[in-house]
Structures are given as structure tokens and as C-alpha cells.
Amino acid sequence: MGNRFTVVDLFAGAGGLSEGFFRTGYRYISHIEMDRYASMTLETREVYHALKTNGMEDVYYSYILGEISREELLSEGGRFVDSDTIIRAEISEENEKALIKRIREKMRSCNLKKVDIIIGGPPCQPYSIVGRGRNSEKMKKDPRNYLYRHYLSFIKHFRPHVFVFENVPGIKSARNGQIYRDFLSRAEKLGYRVKDKTLDARDFFVLQKRQRVIFIGWREEYNLEYPAFTPIEHDYTVSCLLDDLPPLNPREGTESPQEFLCPPSEYLRKSGIRTKKDILIQHRARGHNERDREIYRYVITVWNTERRRVRYDELPEHLKTHRNRKSFEDRFKVVAPDLKYAQSITAHISKDGHYYIHPDNKQARSITVREAARIQSFPDNYKFEGPRTSQYTQIGNAVPPLMAERIACEIKKMLGEI
């Protein structure tokens, strides 16, 4: 226990980035996340890892099967989990000092002398190029623009050896690059060398095209370099994620356990997304009106026959209900099964599924929570707490766990060189 590197996790979300560090053996001091349901998901996942480490993984699967309640799960796992690890709170000007004090008290109670690494990334919406395109003035005034300064306050106070800060590529151009430059300048004044690269999840064995800027900073006295992430080559396609799941019509399926349709694909086994123990949950289709289903069938047919995306303006006239037919022309998009990667899963999937249409014409629906989670590389045993809308949001905001795991491994090598 004492030799494990310690982590503080800020803006933790549902734990995509956290999962990579869990898997790599780090010890968490605290996770801070303001959203109720994301915090619950993270708490459930923390208990899963604790039970697995102590040879009691079957208790977790009893919860997945509905044999025990969440309260019973937390009670069983509580024997192996430090209290107060997950802090449900907003990181703000008003409570920043209180949160730092709370983490210090936790460290004293666990006899921990230092924080080895701080990870996390504030909400990306203010930096999103799509978001700025919709309402640039609103985004300029969004107070979330400056949450990175709170992140740096924790760096200043705890002086970790290394930090990992992640966000969308748009952070580099937000406010004409001012935020990007200010973040680097402030970090350097705190005594850190900082490098950043735009990394794509598809290079990390994730079947999704998803770019993220990953900043890695280390104390300036250390002779370290930004890790070299060599892309993982493969020939798997998105169909590997979908083919073992039972077909659903709109409103069919359930949150509860279901049977898989067939054994897992080689990709699912190699990636660890589905194991022999896993049980299918959270595979329930949302409802759609008949007009939307007709659109879905149209765009699926065009992809399958012509292998191209449909622009909104070329839909049959009776299917076009939006007056603005030029902006966001690709608002209806199939998750193409024959490509090596799907389009990026974003939090917008919680509002509608038009951008994430299942490729089967007979089903004519958007993807389920479990399908979205698989595209993000979440394992099938990852349970997302809360209502379905929140589950989609949690998945859309997350760092893919397979990507996070490789980052965590490289950070461990860096810490080993100190």
C-alpha cells in the first residue's frame, strides 16, 4: 500500500480517466465531482475495484444481477475503501480552500505525506468549437472558462511530481488562444515544465475517433520527457462492438441483466471490454417517432449502398422539419459498422440520438447506453448510476478508459524515474 503512487482527481466525472489509474494500481486520495449521478457511478466503481482486489468480485456481480441493493454493495465494499475518498462538491472560488483542507485532513488520517500526481480536466463545453459556433457570446461569458485556474491552485498547494490535464482541442483556440497561453504561463510560474499533444483515442485501441489535448506537467527540476505514444495498429471494425448485443426496437430492452446474443468478438476479448464474468446491463433503446425512424432508415440505406453520409438538405422533403437546413448538415449520422472507428461520443447524445444511429435498418434506432459505453471502451461491468439521460451524459463527457490506462502506465514510468 505504501509504495503505490497517490492521486488526487479533480473534475472526476464518471471516472473514465480515473479508471485508467485504478487499473494501473495507483492509490486515490480524493476524487472531486459536483454531479450527483457521476459521483455515484464513481463510488460504485471504486467499490468494484476494492472488492476485486480483495477477491470479492462476486459481491459486485450480485449487485449487477439485482441480488443485493446498492446500499449492501457499499456496505460490503466499505471495509476496503477509505472513507471520504469521493467528494461531491463544486470546485469554485468559494469552496476551494475548504476542499484543499478536506484533502489535507484525509491525508493525515491515512498517514499520507504527499500527492504524487493530480489528474483531471474541467468541463469542456466553453472550449468546444461546436459550442462556440452555436453561441459564441454565451461561451465567452461562461464562468467555466476559468476553472483551469482552480486546477492550478491545487497544483500550487500540493506540489505533485506530475500532473495530467485533459480537454478538447478547442481549448487551444478558445478566446483566441488566451486561455491556452495563460494555463501554460501560470503552470510554468508554479515551477512546472508543461508539454501538450493532441492525442486521438483511435490510436489507443479504442474504436472511436476522439481527439483530446493531454497536458503533462512535471516539476522543472526533473529530467523528464513527454511520453511517446505509438499508435496501436489493428484491423477491427465497429461491428466488433455491436454484433453480440440483442437487437432492439425503440423502447425495447431493459436496464436489468439480459443475455448476450453470442460469444464476444476477438476485439471485445483483447480490449477487456467483455470478459467471461460479464453480464449485459443498460441495453435499452430510447423511443423514436416514425418520422425519425424513416430518416434513420434512409441514412442507413445510403451508407450501406453508397458508403457516404447524408446531408440534411438532401433528405426527402417530407422529412425535413428544420428551417435552418445549412448548419449542422450532418445532424443524422450512422455509427458505421465497417469503419475502424465511430464518430466521437459527446454529451449531446443525452438530448437526442440522431448523430448516433445504429447501423441495422431493421432496428432503426439510436444506440443504447451500453453501445455508447462500448464505443468509449468502458467495460461491460461498468455500471452507470442515475437516469438514462445522465448515463449518456456521463459517457459522453468521459476519457476512454483504454486511452486513460495507457496514459497512466506512462505516467508511472515517469514517476519511477524521479
Q: Which residues are catalytic?
A: 124
Distance of alpha carbon 404 from alpha carbon 242, whole angstroms: 22
Q: Answer for the pair 13, 38: CB distance below 8 angstroms, yes or no.
A: yes
The residues, any chain, with a CB within 8 Å of residue 228's CB and separated by 6 or more, are none
3-state secondary structure of 339: coil
Owner of C-alpha cell 492521486: 7
Residues in the chain: 418
Q: Answer for the pair 8, 29: CB distance below 8 angstroms, yes or no.
A: yes
Q: Output DSSP code: residue 206.
A: -
CA 120 to chain centre: 11
CA distances from 220 to 23, 187, 371 (A): 28, 10, 43
Distance of alpha carbon 400 from alpha carbon 397, whole angstroms: 9
Query: 163's torsion region: left (phi>0), alpha (psi -120 to 50) or beta?
Result: beta
Query: 216's torsion region: left (phi>0), alpha (psi -120 to 50) or beta?
Result: beta
